[in-house]
Chain A
Amino acid sequence: MADWYEVCGLEDVPLRGSRIVKTGEGCIALFRTADNDVFALDDKCPHKQGPLSQGIVHDRSVTCPLHGWVFSLETGQAQGADIGQVKTTPVRVIDGVVQIQLTENTAA
């Protein structure tokens, strides 16, 4: 069963920036794009486990800080010639509050 969890206010995530959310199954990176959409992906590049939250956010993509892999924020799919996928987490913004959907075990 999955529940919605509050994490922070929309303004707490900088534009074209990120925040890290700690869960029972590792960290989730919360991204906010230039046009104000919020996405949540595992904070772990499938290539060498680079922290995606520390990458550069451009359009609806993020570039991993370690070796420059680019991922779609929408699908978690690696772009260009690289092959790999990052798990995405459902996210919504209600009354300026960012919420993500986690299962009971993951949230712990």
Chain B
Amino acid sequence: MTKEKLVVIGNGMAPGKVLETLLEEAPDRYDIIIFNAETRVNYNRIMLSPVLTGESEFEEIVIHGDGWYIENNITLYKGHKIVEIDKTAKTVTSEHGVVQAYDKLVIATGSYPFIIPVPGHKLAGVLTFRDLDDVHAMMLAARRGGKAVVIGGGLLGLEAAAGLQIQGMDVTVLHLMPTLMERQLDESAGYLLEKELQSRGINIITKANTKEILGETKVEGVLLDDGTVLDATIVIMAVGIRPNLHLAKDSGFATERGILVDETMQTSDPDVFSVGECIQFDNRTYGLVAPLYDQAKVLGKKLAGKPTDPFVHSESATKLKVTGVNLFSAGDFASGDDRQEIVLRDAAKGVYKRLILQDDKIIGVVLYGETADGPWFYQMLKEGEDISEMRDSLIFGAAYAGGGGSDPLALVAGMSDGAEICGCNGVDKGTIVNAITKDGLCTLEEVRACTKASASCGSCSGLVEQLLALTLGDSFDASAVKPICGCSDLGHQDVRRMILSQELKSIPAIMQALEWKTSCGCAKCRPALNYYLVCAWPDEYVDDGFSRFINERVHANIQKDGTYSVIPRMWGGVTTPSELRAIADVADKFEISIVKVTGGQRIDLLGVKKEDLTAVWADLNDAGMVSGHAYAKGLRTVKTCVGTDWCRVATQDSTGLGIQLEKAMWGAWAPHKLKLAVSGCPRNCSESTCKDIGVICIDSGYELHFGGAAGMHIQGTQVLCTVGTEAEVKEHIFALTQMYREQADYLDRIYKWADKVGYDYIRSVIVEDAGARKAYSDKFLFSQTFMQDDPWKERVDGKEAHHFGAPLIPKKIAETV
């Protein structure tokens, strides 16, 4: 029987939740096909603010990685915008011409940022704050410094403003209304927020009406109605969102401000549904995540053919994700004759709390400065609880009303089991406590993995930790360092310290001395320990191959089909006709499937069978080539441009210097991969500024850079210092490398390590302390004397032959069972 086809247009958080619910309820019911106009997997859009401030990275906010779609047999078209829905033929057509039939269709086209159509709104430098591209554009602009004007003093605008200010820009917020966030805050709280942001150096102008964005081709300034002119290099429009309903409207669906849906999320066509920011329900449109998830759960169950409660509108709570600013609001807080309010102010502490009551029930909450009671009030608001009994002490929060005194845990203890802890994912207290006791959870990460609580915006992490403390008692320690893995309670740095102080020189010695909880560790701790030992005792420690990941164990890169890829070293990216001939001969002889040039200026032979590896290496060795360590947490490549030998603008011999560095540094293991580049001039053809360590040659010498990355995370380098000679370049780079090797947690690249210890601290050691620099550099060179035996040649000569032997063939023995 063929399955019904479910086509989903859009891949944001709402359809993601629809599919999660559907797959839980009826995993095999549909063939699922998603069309996404963005070229990405589903990520947590509400966490873009911490990405902008640098507190999170994109990979941390991915909800469904590529693997999730494969595991669930979902076809995901990335970068495919749907341009037409044919309701009669029941097909959708993408702009690339893909026509897909559906039995059921979900339209989740979301919203787009509204751009005020003032003159100049199309100038380069006018940005919005909606997706990862916007965040990257802002971060790029911020790198050049200058002034930013944010139009809109709502949730998004203020988060953008705070992020840009942290990134070093001079920020002004323009807000049309008299107080900030007037939809979520009353005047008093809006005023406190304005004061707080002003004190951080963010300029705020309220009642500001933008007349024109000034500039020839790109933004130069903003002109206000009253004649004020503000200089600006970028303008962020954050004045609101509009449901993205054009596709649905053009295809003949009933729409008003959004796509009209009923309480089961059905559109005007019975086989077509819609969820998220694109819909209009009961004359309302939506922009916060909690109600979207409620809609998604309704639709997920409906698609699964399971009974479901209808979607009903409920008040959402709002929190501002700006570090250090605590505010919480929910419900309706306009004054009225039939309403009363309770207000608490503490001017010295900057605290303001206001509850709005009607008929002895809470209908609105505004908290500023101290928000811990927010979820407690919100729960009573949602449940319409009668508060007349505790009215006198209500404003002091759960601790007093619940009679628990001033113990902070009393707050969570006083909550009912049905109290919602995580608003984003709709997880209540009972579910979390139950998971902690039943599944034996003891860390925030575990609770996140099992219940999804605090897995979205993370603002309830504190509450979840309190629940852990409450449930587990003294055995929970929130301040504890993150352990290296489940086998130990010690963190990476503790382990590294004790390896040196107790002179632990083998993995079993570490596990014994540091009381490992497992007999021989796991795939997380063993590779880390093995590296720490290699680094600490280069002359004594015998590398443990079985504690290395397969690639480092067999010195080749495993591919998805179990074959390997082989990449020989090409010093500084320079090769010769005879090397190329040898590579060509190897490719012919071993029927290599594909020969590919890598991004690291060398050649990759893909599809090599494991039992052929040693023979392939032997031939490459004969032509004078050695392992490129393309599989190593260690020195990978030193990329170069052609330098003064050929280039008419180069200032130094970048190729020669690159080759010298690679020859000195190859074979060095490190906490993570280590990529270098040397560019012959500031045009930077070798892309030195996105490498772990980069050199840019200048007329007067060499500018040294460090801490770049260009993988999932993109980050430019910072300058270490400028030096005059090649010898100084080498000493600084060797010293920096050794300091990183000795100090970083396993699997942290230089930028992550530098973020933890501070770029300035690294400069103070490597640049300013000549004695320390020399000592680190000497230690690096000493270690290298043990590391530069070609691992390929060793294995061609028979080392660890059991890895490369042919498969065993079973031989029948006489006895029968």
B65-108 with Cβ < 8 A to chain A: 67, 70-71
| Distance between B222 CB and nearest chain A CB, rounded to angstroms | 50
- Cβ-closest chain A residue relative to B67: A67
Q: Specify which chain A residues have a CB less than 8 angstroms from the CB of B812 in the assembled complex.
A: 3-6, 107
Q: Specify which chain A residues have a CB less than 8 angstroms from the CB of B519 in the assembled complex.
A: 34-35, 59
Known: A14-B802, A51-B562, A66-B560. A58 touches B518 (CB 8 A): yes
Q: Is the CB of B817 within 8 A of A3?
A: yes
A57 touches B (CB below 8 Å): yes
Q: Is the CB of A17 within 8 A of B808?
A: no
Q: Specify which chain A residues have a CB less than 8 angstroms from the CB of B558 in the assembled complex.
A: 51, 54, 65-66
Bound-state CA distance A25–B8 (Å) is 39
Bound-state CA distance A37–B535 (Å) is 32
> Interface code B787-817, partner A: CB below 8 Å = 1, 0 otherwise?
0000000000000001101011111110111
Q: Is the CB of A21 within 8 A of B549?
A: no
Q: Is the CB of B813 within 8 A of A99?
A: yes
> Interface code B558-590, partner A: CB below 8 Å = 1, 0 otherwise?
101010000000000000000000000000000
| Distance between B773 CB and nearest chain A CB, rounded to angstroms | 37
Bound-state CA distance A23–B807 (Å) is 10
Bound-state CA distance A8–B450 (Å) is 43
Known: A57-B546, A63-B523, A70-B523. A12 touches B810 (CB 8 A): no
> Interface code A23-56, partner B: CB below 8 Å = 1, 0 otherwise?
1000100100011000000000001111100111
Bound-state CA distance A20–B549 (Å) is 18
| Distance between B484 CB and nearest chain A CB, rounded to angstroms | 14
Q: Specify which chain A residues have a CB less than 8 angstroms from the CB of B548 in the assembled complex.
A: 56
Q: Is the CB of B809 within 8 A of A2?
A: no
| Distance between A34 CB and nearest chain B CB, rounded to angstroms | 5
- Cβ-closest chain B residue relative to A99: B813
Q: Specify which chain A residues have a CB less than 8 angstroms from the CB of B526 in the assembled complex.
A: 56, 58
Q: Is the CB of A4 within 8 A of B815?
A: yes
| Distance between A16 CB and nearest chain B CB, rounded to angstroms | 4
Q: Is the CB of A59 within 8 A of B518?
A: yes
- Cβ-closest chain A residue relative to B548: A56
Bound-state CA distance A4–B812 (Å) is 6
B737 touches A (CB below 8 Å): no
A100 touches B (CB below 8 Å): yes
A10 touches B (CB below 8 Å): no
Bound-state CA distance A5–B67 (Å) is 38
Counting chain B CB atoms within 10 Å of each CB, the highest count among A56, A99, A102 belongs to A56
- Cβ-closest chain B residue relative to A98: B808
CB contact between A12 and one of B67, B802, B809 (< 8 Å): that residue: B802
CB contact between B811 and one of A5, A49, A57 (< 8 Å): that residue: A5
CB contact between A23 and one of B802, B810, B813 (< 8 Å): that residue: B810
| Distance between A84 CB and nearest chain B CB, rounded to angstroms | 10
- Cβ-closest chain A residue relative to B558: A65
Q: Is the CB of A54 within 8 A of B520?
A: no
Q: Is the CB of A2 within 8 A of B808?
A: no
B478 touches A (CB below 8 Å): no
| Distance between A33 CB and nearest chain B CB, rounded to angstroms | 8
B547 touches A (CB below 8 Å): yes
Q: Specify which chain B residues have a CB less than 8 angstroms from the CB of A75 in the assembled complex.
A: none
Bound-state CA distance A3–B814 (Å) is 9
| Distance between A51 CB and nearest chain B CB, rounded to angstroms | 4
| Distance between A69 CB and nearest chain B CB, rounded to angstroms | 10
Q: Is the CB of A7 within 8 A of B817?
A: no
Q: Is the CB of B808 within 8 A of A21?
A: yes
| Distance between B713 CB and nearest chain A CB, rounded to angstroms | 20
- Cβ-closest chain B residue relative to A43: B562
- Cβ-closest chain A residue relative to B551: A65
CB contact between B805 and one of A19, A48, A61, A70 (< 8 Å): that residue: A19
Q: Specify which chain B residues have a CB less than 8 angstroms from the CB of A48 in the assembled complex.
A: 70, 560
Q: Is the CB of A20 within 8 A of B808?
A: yes
Q: Specify which chain A residues have a CB less than 8 angstroms from the CB of B553 in the assembled complex.
A: 54
Known: A3-B817, A50-B562. A21 touches B809 (CB 8 A): yes
Known: A66-B558, A101-B817. A58 touches B523 (CB 8 A): yes
Bound-state CA distance A20–B804 (Å) is 10
| Distance between B53 CB and nearest chain A CB, rounded to angstroms | 30
| Distance between A70 CB and nearest chain B CB, rounded to angstroms | 7
| Distance between A73 CB and nearest chain B CB, rounded to angstroms | 13
Bound-state CA distance A23–B550 (Å) is 23
Bound-state CA distance A75–B41 (Å) is 35
- Our count of residue pairs bridging A and B at CB distance below 8 angstroms stands at 108
Q: Specify which chain B residues have a CB less than 8 angstroms from the CB of A54 in the assembled complex.
A: 550, 553-554, 558, 562
A96 touches B (CB below 8 Å): no
| Distance between B574 CB and nearest chain A CB, rounded to angstroms | 33
Q: Is the CB of B808 within 8 A of A68?
A: no
CB contact between B550 and one of A19, A47, A65 (< 8 Å): that residue: A65
| Distance between B614 CB and nearest chain A CB, rounded to angstroms | 16
Bound-state CA distance A5–B812 (Å) is 4
- Cβ-closest chain A residue relative to B554: A54
Q: Is the CB of A56 within 8 A of B808?
A: no
Q: Specify which chain B residues have a CB less than 8 angstroms from the CB of A100 in the assembled complex.
A: 810
Q: Is the CB of B546 within 8 A of A21?
A: no
Q: Specify which chain B residues have a CB less than 8 angstroms from the CB of A15 in the assembled complex.
A: 546
B449 touches A (CB below 8 Å): yes
B521 touches A (CB below 8 Å): yes
Q: Is the CB of B817 within 8 A of A19?
A: no
Q: Is the CB of B807 within 8 A of A1?
A: no
CB contact between A56 and one of B449, B546, B809 (< 8 Å): that residue: B546
Q: Is the CB of A56 within 8 A of B813?
A: no
- Cβ-closest chain B residue relative to A27: B807
B775 touches A (CB below 8 Å): no
Bound-state CA distance A23–B558 (Å) is 22
CB contact between B547 and one of A14, A47, A56, A68 (< 8 Å): that residue: A56
Q: Specify which chain B residues have a CB less than 8 angstroms from the CB of A68 in the assembled complex.
A: 523
Bound-state CA distance A16–B518 (Å) is 14
Known: A3-B817, A68-B523. A55 touches B560 (CB 8 A): no
| Distance between B192 CB and nearest chain A CB, rounded to angstroms | 43
Q: Specify which chain A residues have a CB less than 8 angstroms from the CB of B811 in the assembled complex.
A: 5-7
Q: Is the CB of B817 within 8 A of A4?
A: yes
| Distance between B695 CB and nearest chain A CB, rounded to angstroms | 35
B342 touches A (CB below 8 Å): no
Q: Specify which chain A residues have a CB less than 8 angstroms from the CB of B813 in the assembled complex.
A: 3-6, 99
- Cβ-closest chain B residue relative to A97: B813
CB contact between B808 and one of A30, A55, A66, A70 (< 8 Å): that residue: A30
Q: Is the CB of A22 within 8 A of B809?
A: yes
Q: Is the CB of A3 within 8 A of B518?
A: no
Q: Is the CB of B523 within 8 A of A6?
A: no
Bound-state CA distance A15–B520 (Å) is 12
Q: Is the CB of B523 within 8 A of A8?
A: no
Bound-state CA distance A44–B523 (Å) is 18
B522 touches A (CB below 8 Å): yes
Bound-state CA distance A63–B527 (Å) is 12
Bound-state CA distance A58–B529 (Å) is 14
Q: Specify which chain B residues have a CB less than 8 angstroms from the CB of A27 in the assembled complex.
A: 807
Q: Is the CB of A22 within 8 A of B808?
A: yes
- Cβ-closest chain B residue relative to A102: B810
| Distance between A95 CB and nearest chain B CB, rounded to angstroms | 12
Q: Specify which chain B residues have a CB less than 8 angstroms from the CB of A8 in the assembled complex.
A: 808
Q: Specify which chain A residues have a CB less than 8 angstroms from the CB of B71 in the assembled complex.
A: 47
Q: Specify which chain B residues have a CB less than 8 angstroms from the CB of A57 in the assembled complex.
A: 546
28 pairs from A and B in contact (CB 8 Å cutoff): A2-B817, A4-B812, A4-B817, A6-B812, A6-B813, A13-B802, A14-B546, A16-B520, A16-B546, A17-B546, A21-B807, A21-B809, A22-B808, A22-B809, A23-B810, A51-B562, A54-B558, A55-B550, A56-B523, A56-B547, A56-B548, A65-B549, A67-B67, A70-B522, A81-B450, A101-B817, A102-B810, A107-B812
Query: Which 4 pairs between the two chains have the least Cβ-Cβ distance?
Result: A63-B523, A5-B810, A65-B550, A16-B546
Q: Please list the residues of chain B having a beta carbon within 8 angstroms of any beta carbon in chain A.
A: 67, 70-71, 449-450, 518-523, 526-527, 546-550, 553-554, 558, 560, 562, 802-803, 805, 807-813, 815-817
Given contacts A19-B805, A19-B808, 15 further A-B contacts (CB under 8 A): A5-B813, A6-B812, A12-B802, A17-B802, A19-B802, A22-B807, A22-B810, A49-B562, A54-B553, A55-B523, A56-B547, A56-B548, A56-B549, A58-B523, A81-B450
